[in-house]
Amino acid sequence: MVMKMEAAGPMLVLAIAERTYSSWSLRGHLLVEITGAPCAVRKVDLRTPGFEALAAEFAPARSVPMLSVETQEGPPIRLWDSLAIAETLHERFPDAGIWPADPAARAAARSLAAEMHSGFSALRRLCPMNLEKVYEGFAPPPDEREALEADLARIETLWRWAREGWGAGGPWLFGARFTAADAFHAPLASRLVTYGLPRSDLARAYAEAVHAHPPFRRWRAMGVAERRVVERYEMNLPRGPRFGPPPRPARAVTDRTPLNDACPYSGKPVAPDSLAEIDGCVVGFCNPFCRDKSVADADAWPRLAPLLA
């Protein structure tokens, strides 16, 4: 019998790469967020010695996301594939809603996730995920245009089919609850935005829902705070306006008196080099990363809200 476990410490350990660029890491994060379980995050940049060392801890894993699941039955479960992560989290947290409850919807959601996992090669090759850019004037190479257009048409077909069949009552592919199908397709939605690709009203509404989803917003804000730029994922194109809920006016500041003594996230004392003015309020944090993720999108963080009320 599968039991829903309770533990004092983190039950899950998730290893990820760059938040701005790693679409598979994003999927792992969104899947874990559905469970609501405590999770410790281990982050390392790809193509660095640190990545090889981290992968060795999750052996025989060799790609992100990597997940360790503590169990009451024996050693931790180790996973390194997003489909395997989705199914294992569904087993360990059967009431979390990883997949839709209705059998037909669940089968459809699994099919959408599996097709994303193995398909859309032109879109993924030509348009790598970049959550901090909205490009203007992107055009695929002429010999790739047909393949990209086929991927975009297929995305439209799948999203419309899911929404028309099971999407009533909410913004997600299968209705009111964000499921694993949405976790798998969220990076696709972000690519449509980043590269200004054609999208219907239905696809635009879905992209808006994804960019407003609190776990997605927090992930995106942490990507900004990491300040990591990977040139091979960047394009020399004009920039369009930011997509998604507009963030509050915010900036890092120094030599100010914060209204709080403890970091709203960690509870640790405020550090003098970690102050921010957010919508007119000076708030202190325990380190520059906490400050910068808050400056990037203050409304993404529930623990910050009381200080800005």
Annotated domain spans of the chain? 12-92, 103-219, 247-308
User: How high is the pLDDT of residue 233?
Assistant: 94
Alpha-carbon span 8 to 11, nearest angstrom: 8
The superfamily (CATH) of domain 12-92 is: Glutaredoxin (3.40.30.10)
Please give the backbone phi and psi of residue 106, each rounded to the nearest 5 degrees, phi first: -65, -45
**pLDDT tens digit sequence for 53-107:** 888 888 888 889 999 998 888 889 999 999 999 999 999 999 999 999 999 999 9
Q: What is the pTM of this model?
A: 0.94
User: How high is the pLDDT of residue 1?
Assistant: 29
**pLDDT tens digit sequence for 248-269:** 999 999 999 999 999 999 999 9
**pLDDT tens digit sequence for 180-202:** 999 999 999 999 999 999 989 99
Chosen CATH of 103-219 out of 3.40.1360.10, 3.20.20.70, 3.50.50.60, 1.20.1050.10: 1.20.1050.10
Number of residues that this document lists for the chain: 309
Question: Could you tell me the pLDDT band of residue 247, with boundaries at 50, 70 and 90?
Answer: very high
